[in-house]
Structure 1
Amino acid sequence: MSLLWNEPVQDAWIDYNGHLSEAYYVLVFGHATDNVMDAVGIDATYREAHDASLYTLEAHVRYLAEVPAGADLEVRSSVIGVSGKLLWIWHELWVDDRLRATEEVLGVHVRGGASAPMPDDIAAAAGAARVAPPDEASGRIRPLADPATG
């Protein structure tokens, strides 16, 4: 399953070279991560009701091509791994049908300030959304048969 996140480049995000500044790639990928969280059930209602969320443990960004001012950004996101507490997300940032950057994110489900297993329905939704990792992924994703472990 691939999810889409779209937003325009803001003028304040442009650096002295006339391109999207590196920090804003991560900001946009963060918005796309929120979109994935919503899709698997870690939405605002869940977060507030359960004092739970997804915390980023690790992220790897590849900057492949510049993003010009005024561009419309499209992030294509996929769940590429899931375990009892962990969720791996793959993002691709596209502009004008050209891949500009990727980000691989490892998040941990946290409840009450400590890591905790995802509820069964969220683990099932994440597992159902899971696709094979692309070749460019880190290779550190553990294939797990049982999403209730880990």
Structure 2
Amino acid sequence: MPEVLEYRDTVRPEWIDYNGHLSEPFYVMVFGFATDHLMAATGMGETYRAETGCSLYTVEAHVRYLKEVGPDADLLVTTTVLSVGAKKVRLCHELVVGGEVVATEELLAVHVAEARAAPFPDAVADRLRDHLAPAPGYAGRAIS
């Protein structure tokens, strides 16, 4: 059974737009925090970057906004890894509020060293694989 990562946050007043809902860029920011959480959990956190100069760069993202999110909402982002290659990882985040998925983000990220694609260390790749799960039905879709 894959280990699903969880990142939690709360909507802050400055994230609310003039319609009274979570503004579009803040969904992506919260998903970014969840990616940071994945990186830390798999050995690619701040210390890793400081010691190796390596990190993950997002090269493609697909966000689906499914429901509006109001002020002060408690946010839960679950993260699963869909695939791990020599230099890249594909993952999905699901943003949940009150038990309901309100947004999703599918990412393709590349492991980089000195701004060039570089292989994952074996230990990092193994930890990423601990989070492997089947792709949800929406993953891999193009915008139509």
- Superposed pair shares fold, TM > 0.5: yes
CA distance in 2, matches of 1:27, 1:67: 14
Which ranges of 4 or more aligned residues in structure 1 deviate by more than 6 Å?
Answer: none
Aligned residues with identical type, % of pairs: 46
> Tell me, what secondary structure is at the counterpart of 1:129?
coil
Question: Partner residue of 2:74?
Answer: 72
Question: Partner residue of 2:120?
Answer: 118
Change (3 A) 1:72 1:44: same
TM-score, normalization: structure 2? 0.94
Deviation at 1:74, TM superposition (A): 0.6
Deviation at 1:139, TM superposition (A): 6.0
Once the two structures are superposed, what CA deviation does each residue of 1:64-88 show, in whole Å capped at 9, x if it has no partner?
0000011011101111111000011
Question: Partner residue of 1:144?
Answer: none
CA distance in 1, matches of 2:130, 2:80: 11
Deviation at 1:128, TM superposition (A): 2.5
Task: Give the length in aligned residue pairs.
Answer: 140
What are structure 1's unaligned runs of at least 5 residues?
141-150
Once the two structures are superposed, what CA deviation does each residue of 1:26-68 show, in whole Å capped at 9, x if it has no partner?
0000000001111111111111100010000000000000000
CA distance in 2, matches of 1:38, 1:10: 24
Question: Partner residue of 1:105?
Answer: 107
Question: Partner residue of 2:19?
Answer: 17
Change (3 A) 1:139 1:117: farther
Matched, 1:8 2:17: no
Question: Partner residue of 1:86?
Answer: 88
> Tell me, what secondary structure is at the counterpart of 1:138?
coil
> Tell me, what secondary structure is at the counterpart of 2:130?
helix
